[in-house]
Amino acid sequence: MTNILEINDLVLSYGAAAAVRGINLHVAEGEVVTLIGANGAGKSTTLKGIVGLVKPSGGSVTFAGEPTAKRRTDWLARHGMNLVPEGRKVFAALTVAENLDVAASASNLRGHALKELIREIYGIFPRLDERKDSLSWTLSGGEQQMLAMGRALIAKPRLLLLDEPSLGLSPKLATEVVQLISRYSRDHGLSVLLVEQNARLALSASDRGYVMETGRIVAEGSADDLQDNQEVRRAYLGS
């Protein structure tokens, strides 16, 4: 399979402090890959480095065969890379439908094609359809996460970057949200890089994974292999 994302020897720093220390990882087209690790391991910083919110001090990021060092964040978004950041960033004073309309206005679709796309989003996230006239601040945490992901999917991304989608959600809702994205990836060939502290949940929905500690990749492999790895089980799976 062709890699849509390649990271080679990436170094990311905040001032003199290196948060990411020469990591290597890749995501193939249509693949769900998870990056797990404790809080402060460098996972979210890695996503910020991929989209250019933190400038690399070493190494490289390549997206769809194109080095990203001189590319702006808006260029990456237009060419199919979309980040759903931690914290469920939605427009609280707008309804669900209005939030989706804002995202749709940035697309090239109009008329019937746009209506079909929004109908597809409601099909993926039926709860959003049920609450499309509700103000976003009235939604539960899980519903807000679904809305954030729905807005991202309207852009028809080739690569979706998800930062801690289960944060603050009940176990049931967290599982529902992550499994929805995994199913969408299988059905539509979407590539996903999923950053999660909930290792068991993330690995259950992924093809492959990487384990990050103190800014370094310390283990990698198929999701099954990582779930069978005794050190990973002891540190992240509670067994």
In angstroms, rounded to a whole number, what is the distance separating the alpha carbons of residues 204 and 165? 14
- The residues with which 66 forms a beta bridge, in sequence order, are 63
H-type alpha helices, 52-170: 73-78, 96-105, 111-124, 126-130, 141-154
Q: Which residues are CB-neighbours of 98 under 8 A, at least 6 positions away?
A: 91
Q: Which residues are CB-neighbours of 42 under 8 A, at least 6 positions away?
A: 12, 19, 20, 21, 23, 212, 214, 215, 216
The whole-number pLDDT of residue 238 equals 77
Model pLDDT for residues 94-130, shown as the tens digit of each residue: 999 999 988 887 776 677 777 888 888 999 889 999 9
CB 62 within 8 A of CB 5: yes
CB 165 within 8 A of CB 194: yes
Please provide the CATH number assigned to the domain covering 3-88+157-237: 3.40.50.300
Mean of the per-residue pLDDT values of the chain: 90
The whole-number pLDDT of residue 236 equals 86
Does pLDDT of 239 surpass 70?
Answer: no
Please indicate, yes or no, whether the overall pTM of this predicted structure exceeds 0.85: yes
Average pLDDT for 38-49: 93
Residue type for position 105: S
In angstroms, rounded to a whole number, what is the distance separating the alpha carbons of residues 155 and 117? 10
96-105 and 141-154 are packed helices; what angle lies between their axes, rounded to 10 degrees? 20
Domain boundaries along the sequence of the chain: 3-88+157-237
